[in-house]
Amino acid sequence: MPTPTPSRIDLAAHLARVRQRAPLVHNITNLVAMNSMANVLLAIGASPAMVHAREEAAEFAAIADALTLNIGTLSPHWVEAMDEAAEAARLTGKPWVLDPVAVGATAYRRTTAARLLERLPTVVRGNASEIIALEAGGPGGRGVDSSDPAEAAEQAATRLARRVGCVVAVTGEVDLVTDGRRLARVRGGHPLMPRVTTLGCALTGVVAAFLVGAEDPFEATVAALACYGAAGQGAGQGARGPGSFAVAFLDALHTLEGDALDALPPLEFHDAT
């Protein structure tokens, strides 16, 4: 019998698990995101490591607790290392998350993302344009910023989740999470979040951290997005622009607790159609 669609999720319990386990998250991410992703992972209580050389990526992926692959700044050696790291994660039973940055923009990204999808990610996280382009396998979208509302990606996300057998998270003003059978909407965050670079890339790492030790990847992904949104909502209160927002966001992740989680708009759960 499949897990029923939940009516609520104990966010504080998911967050406590991350902080208690301090999972080692191995990231082959883009060059823009490396520093901010590491700081975000440290702030939420995880232990980040960036290791991309073919000479050690698979060996490291087998040691780590989870893996993330981000195609934002590719090069041929990295693509090979990503492939081997994903295979090592699969063989050792570690969760891994694919972040198909600007996948619609070039043929190289489409080819690479399609190849990585065959390694069966636990979760795919992207914005609406990226999920639509990834599912379609064709061109679309110019850059790293989304031009489609999250809702428009619902159908693409559901199809992709069913085809790959993974969870798909479409993040935007309202986040959408589906495993092809269940669907959740997460509200929160702040309008300044897209004005700080790589907060989406860093969220991919947070999703990976929440997957470690979780029974249900769908619930863990929803919890990760909700905690991220709660921190963003809190950080936005005193921010004077994207500089002070970014600082307050790391502080908010580090100090996140019940009050901020309770301030989130309620999560919505549905059966996927």
Alpha-helical segments (H) within the chain: 11-21, 34-44, 57-63, 76-91, 107-117, 128-136, 154-164, 199-211, 217-235, 242-255, 258-262
> Which candidate, 2, 61, 62, 64, places its Cα nearest to that of 216?
2
C-beta of residue 143 within 8 angstroms of C-beta of residue 32: no
Between residues 5 and 197, which has the closer beta carbon with respect to its own copies?
197
Interface with its own copies (CB under 8 A), residue from 9, 15, 43, 132: 43
Does 3 appear as a known binding residue? Answer: no
Instruction: Report the residue number, 153 or 199, with the smaller CB distance to its own copies.
Output: 199
Question: Dihedral angle at the C-alpha atoms of 58, 62, 63, 68, nearest 10 degrees?
Answer: 70
- Contact predicate 260/229, CB 8 Å: no
- 109 in contact with its own copies (CB under 8 A): yes
Range in contact with its own copies (rule: CB under 8 A) among 119-127, 148-156, 212-220, 240-248: 240-248
- d(Cα 80, Cα 73) in Å, to the nearest integer? 14
Strand, coil or helix: 82? helix
Chain residues 46-65 in contact with its own copies, contact rule CB under 8 A: 47-53, 55-56, 59-60, 63-64
Cα 18 versus chain centre, distance: 15
- Does 247 bind its own copies (CB under 8 A)? Our answer is yes
Contact in structure between 125 and 96 (CB atoms under 8 Å): no
CB of 22 to its own copies, least distance (A): 8
Q: Is 5 in the site for its own copies (CB under 8 A)?
A: no
Residue 91 Cβ vs its own copies, minimum distance, rounded to whole Å: 17
Q: Which of 68, 171, 198, 204 binds its own copies (CB under 8 A)?
A: 198
Q: Is 144 in the site for its own copies (CB under 8 A)?
A: yes
Q: Answer yes or no: is 171 a known binding residue.
A: yes
Please give the residue ranges that form the binding site for its own copies (CB under 8 A): 24, 30-36, 38-39, 42-43, 47-53, 55-56, 59-60, 63-64, 72-77, 102, 105-109, 142-145, 194-198, 240-244, 246-255
